[in-house]
Amino acid sequence: MATLDTSVLNSINQTTTTSGVTDSTQSVSSTEELNDQFMTLLVAQMQNQDPMDPVSNSDLTAQLAQISTVSGIEELNTTLEGITAQISSSEALQAASLLDQGVLVGGNAVLVGNATSTPFGLELADDVDNATVEVLGADGSVVKTFELGALEAGIHGFVWDGLLDDGTEAADGSYQLAVTAERAGESYDDLQTLSYGVVSGVNQTDSGAQLDLGPVLGVVSLDAVRQVL
């Protein structure tokens, strides 16, 4: 039984493998030209095939299915490029809307100044039976303790009034947070402390939107934001 010459089809498949999937700039016209070449070859072979040994319907159908798959991949790539562009545009707009907004991101710093302190947060992957947050001074000593009790999974925000455990006001500066938690009678550590920062700038980079939170927290990605306050 005769078979189709797959040289053009192989050329199409090779082009798709080396540039159609990895090179987002391949033009639609290039794909159309390859399709035309394939169909021209197919018609020529059908016209010149041995009538005593014709190409089978199944073989013909298989070849046509492959060229359709190649075209489908090109259309899919074009669609994905459009979706990616829309996501990038949406991310940029979302980041821009956060300018001058307060946010919570992963971190363990809390700042005190002018008798006020920045908010802080705690993110838990599961419910816990008890949680305790300690505020540490520059020398590592505990200056304030928060007994939070049982907490549900999720993000919890807190505000420190700036008073130490002895009732005096904390000196201006940066303090660190330390958390301990228990679940079902055992120590639990699937958690993270959250620090507060104000978005002072937004930069769009190849890796996505970057938010400038100032000298203490620095620059973070948009997906690092756990809560907007």
What is the tens place of the pLDDT at every residue in 38-56?
667 666 666 666 655 665 6
| Residue 166 near residue 140 (C-beta atoms within 8 A) | no
Nearby residues of 181 by Cβ (< 8 Å), 6 or more positions away = 124, 128, 130, 131, 132, 151, 187, 188, 189, 191
Q: Among the listed ranges 4-8, 67-71, 102-106, which one has the minimum average pLDDT value? A: 4-8
pTM over 0.75: no
What is the pLDDT at residue 190? 97
**Domain of residue 174, CATH code:** 2.60.40.4070
Residue 159 tokens read as 């505000």
Q: What is the DSSP letter of 108?
A: -
| Residue 113 near residue 216 (C-beta atoms within 8 A) | no
What is the pLDDT at residue 209? 86
User: Is residue 170 classed exposed, middle or buried when 0-12, 13-18 and 19+ CB atoms within 10 A define those classes?
Assistant: buried
**Do 113 and 165 lie in a common domain?**
yes
Q: Of all residues in the chain, what percent carry a pLDDT higher than 70?
A: 61
91 domain residue, yes or no: yes
- Mean pLDDT over each residue of the chain, to the nearest integer: 79
Domain count within the chain: 2
**Do 31 and 111 lie in a common domain?**
no
Find the mean pLDDT for residues 53-69: 63
Give the DSSP H/E element, type plus range, for residue 117.
Answer: strand 116-117
**Do 35 and 65 lie in a common domain?**
yes
**Do 113 and 86 lie in a common domain?**
no
Q: What residue numbers bound the domain in which 125 lies?
A: 102-198
